[in-house]
Amino acid sequence: MVKVNGNYLKLKAGYLFPEIGRRVKAFSSANPEAQLIRLGIGDVTEPLPQACRDAMKSAIDEMGTAEGFHGYGPEQGYAWLREAIARDDFQARGCEISAEEIFVSDGSKCDSSNILDILGSGNRIAVTDPVYPVYVDSNVMAGRTGESGDDGRYGGLTYLPISADNGFAAQIPSEPVDLIYLCYPNNPTGAVATKAQLKAWVDYARTNKALILFDAAYEAFIQDPDLPHSIYEIEGARDCAIEFRSFSKNAGFTGTRCALTVVPKGLMGKADDGSEVELWGLWNRRQSTKFNGVSYIIQRGAEAVYSDAGQQEVKALVNFYMENAAIIRRELSAAGIEVHGGEHAPYVWLKTPLGMDSWSFFDHLLQKANVVGTPGSGFGAAGEGYFRLSAFNSRRNVDEAMARIRNL
């Protein structure tokens, strides 16, 4: 009989979102009249920008002509999109990143998992706790961890706790690690890193010849001009970091699918024989073999994000969600709840009141306010006692959810 990948059997069964779904379903069946408001899953809610839709529509029309038809495109993405990204997202912020170093893809979730294809086994891996679950589960699936323990933590991973105690800034590990996952602005805590904090990581990575995987999916939500949007704003990061970006959260492409990964030329890893190998070539080879590019239509839509009209619309979307976040922060604070995040990220990370654990607060909010959020413990053991509310929703739903919480 065909053998299965046993690493998948190491994955914890009760995964966060299915468990939320189960509890919500049970509650809804018992209370069919309840009007639920979902501030749980991190999906955007506002429509796609007009500029993107117009660009996609013209691309469809082009595809209907013999001259404008596009078949397989470059696996790395069309040059015009890679150039716009390099210029506006990186060079405009003083980062020396060229178009050739940009790899366009169908998502950061896939890229941040697929990157393990080009990294060897035996790397010591550090993740924050709480963490975006994809980083951990993709390592489990790739056989880069041991079994999970009673606390839900996997053997072989170095967990860096982030909580109010350290201002949600992961401490540099005391033991040497080879691979470090960082996400700023952070999902789930909404925390953000300063240049000094990122510099400490870059210095650590260069000293220890480690690789940083930097997830900047939420960079557009940064409000303070002094905060870094890219790891490449830190000197030396080209030698130690890969960055993931996505059009999902800034331009509402969660259902449309377009993202990018930056792999700087000259960023090296070590082969089994001790020689140094450029990661760019490996990633280029990986993408050329296993990926056939993002659709022409979608890449034209993504390109429109960099037009003047697109930029204005993206700003308006970000402002809209950040106003939601400000309302959530203000109302929860007024209700006496300790809040974190939500200032440079669309997530508010609250301390569960009255000493409730994360799942008790989930049930309390579901039953008493009919509001669905995400228990912090689902993102890691150190998330226990915290809870995530997302600002991705309509103003009406946010206002209504906050009114219900206020009246609890």
Ligand X SMILES: *Cc1c(COP(=O)(O)O)cnc(C)c1O
Binding residues for ligand X (CB under 6 A): 42, 107-109, 132, 183, 187, 215, 217, 246, 248-249, 254, 259
In the complex, least distance from residue 67 CB atom to ligand X, rounded to whole angstroms: 32
CB contact set of 335 (below 8 Å; sequence gap of 6+): 405, 406, 408
**Amino acid identity for residue 352 in this structure:** T
Taking the least distance from each CB to ligand X, the nearer of 135 and 362 is 135
Nearest C-alpha neighbor of 116 from the set 258, 282, 342, 227: 282
In the complex, least distance from residue 278 CB atom to ligand X, rounded to whole angstroms: 25
In the complex, least distance from residue 355 CB atom to ligand X, rounded to whole angstroms: 29
Taking the least distance from each CB to ligand X, the nearer of 132 and 349 is 132
Rg (CA), the chain: 21
CA distance 229 to 212: 15
In the complex, least distance from residue 183 CB atom to ligand X, rounded to whole angstroms: 5
In the complex, least distance from residue 362 CB atom to ligand X, rounded to whole angstroms: 19
Nearest C-alpha neighbor of 142 from the set 4, 8, 15: 8
DSSP state of 148: B
Residues facing residue 148 across a β-bridge? 154
Q: Are 187 and 217 in contact (CB under 8 A)?
A: yes
Taking the least distance from each CB to ligand X, the nearer of 197 and 370 is 197
Token reading at 15: 């995964």
Token reading at 341: 């995040």
Q: Are 231 and 198 in contact (CB under 8 A)?
A: yes
Taking the least distance from each CB to ligand X, the nearer of 370 and 386 is 386
- Closest residue to ligand X, Cβ-based? 107
In the complex, least distance from residue 105 CB atom to ligand X, rounded to whole angstroms: 8
Taking the least distance from each CB to ligand X, the nearer of 187 and 370 is 187
β pairing state of 157-161 and 125-129: parallel
In the complex, least distance from residue 29 CB atom to ligand X, rounded to whole angstroms: 30
CA distance 214 to 15: 24
β pairing state of 259-262 and 241-246: antiparallel
Q: Which helix (H) or strand (E) holds 368?
A: helix 358-369
Nearest C-alpha neighbor of 299 from the set 42, 44, 45, 62: 62
CA distance 180 to 166: 18
- Sheet bearing 102-105, strands edge to edge: 102-105, 259-262, 241-246, 211-215, 179-183, 125-129, 157-161
Taking the least distance from each CB to ligand X, the nearer of 346 and 405 is 346
Q: Which helix (H) or strand (E) holds 364?
A: helix 358-369
In the complex, least distance from residue 356 CB atom to ligand X, rounded to whole angstroms: 25
Taking the least distance from each CB to ligand X, the nearer of 104 and 259 is 259
Taking the least distance from each CB to ligand X, the nearer of 181 and 370 is 181
Token reading at 338: 């300790």
Taking the least distance from each CB to ligand X, the nearer of 184 and 362 is 184
In the complex, least distance from residue 311 CB atom to ligand X, rounded to whole angstroms: 20
